[in-house]
Structure 1
Amino acid sequence: MTQSLAEDTAAAERLLTHGAMTVEGRLVQASNATLRCDIEFEGLRAKCVYKPVAGERPLWDFPDGTLAGREVAAYLVSQAMGWRIVPPTVHRDGPWGPGMAQLWIEPDPAVDVVALSRANDAAVRRIAVFDAVINNADRKIGHLLPVAGGHVHGCDHGVCFSTEYKLRTVLWQWRGKPLKPLALQGLARVRAELEGELAGRLARLITAEEVEATRRRVDLMLKHRVHPYPPEDWPAVPWPPM
């Protein structure tokens, strides 16, 4: 059911937006308040992750109270690229106030995510491109969610979209390598959307400067047609990497 909802994004968004949430428990390994919930609407039921703004830990390099919005912005960019990397995600009120709600994805336990993160896997390579677009400052191994059939979702996108180059990831195996045609197609799609409705939707979640910085990152990738290199003045890999 969960994976079918991940593919039927309209149904998933309705459920996440209007469903009644019952908190199951807290994911204690998360640095910010992250709650797993049951959610139900019009007979449809699933699990979701709920991250209330009130539970966000202040950061020195991102404005307070903006992480939930950045998670939703990452979902919108993922959809615009046509890759369904980020599970359906909405901004809504919940048991602990406003925050983000995201469809829970149960990863395939048969997949070794450490090996996957180091592999030359097409689905993971798409995530590396996506992370470069959103300027993801925290792509850890545990944020990869492989499911049956070979698709790989990604989660935890609260520290993205900075105007400064902060790309920090475990997925550097393609640095400097030519972008695949599929990647260029996804970049072209999102660049076109950034001139239309997507820009307006993002502007309600991140700053106008951050939207413009996203355009510039896409333009650079389309111009040079290679995977980016690590920043010179910023740690290239998150810690801990898992």
Structure 2
Amino acid sequence: MSLATIELDHTHNYSPAALHAVPEPVPESASPPGAARIRAIPNGPEARGFVLYVGIDEAKAAASGTDLGSLVTALRRLTAELAPASETYAAVALAPRGSGGRDVDVVRLALQDPAALARHRQEDPVEEGGRREGVIVDLSRKRVQLDEQTAPLTYKEFELLQYLVLRVGRTVARSELITSLWGDGDEDVPNERTIDVHVRRLRSKLGGYEDIVRTVRGVGYRFDRHADVSVRHATTPSPDF
């Protein structure tokens, strides 16, 4: 399963969502006399916060008369009321449309919860005796590996992917891709309609990971931070960036 996340700042209207909560400590006054105090964390480490996984897709949220952004805003507001000194961070977990499994499990996996990752590795079937390694975008060597196999990308296809990867989280317009990646001396310079053909060819070579290049309808394309994708940067900054 190919998954991704979008980081959200405090002003964003979009975020994650169903739950996996840390158990609350039982107050000493609530414990029977002589009983040992129950703590949510073991003695020794210092608690610095907690993670709350919420599993709900946009359709289910809409059916409940709300949306993901509103849920995040409400949770942040409640947290601020209960603990004004607290800090919050939210991220939305993305998965291919129609992916199976419980929403909360998909969210935990996309956000790389260690326990969820360990379980996924145990349950994920090994294809043809090989291990699913994900995608490695090697900017220094100008190559992409899919489960340890080099993807047969052309130079222009790699440049297209690299352009999006270096602008992670930003939607790039078709016109910007054309202007930045194709020059006057290039043959077969695409227009805003035919740029989709180039993206389609790139995706076809990414196989089961084609969804790492996201289409933003009416605007362009975007690459988001992705649980299955590792990016290896060159020792010197890319001139493209």
TM-score range relative to shorter protein? under 0.3
- Between structure 1 and structure 2, the one with the greater Rg is 2
- The structure where strand makes up a greater share of residues is 1
TM-score, normalised on structure 1?
Answer: 0.26
Between structures 1 and 2, the one with greater helix share: 1
Higher relative contact order (CA 8 A, sep 6+): 2
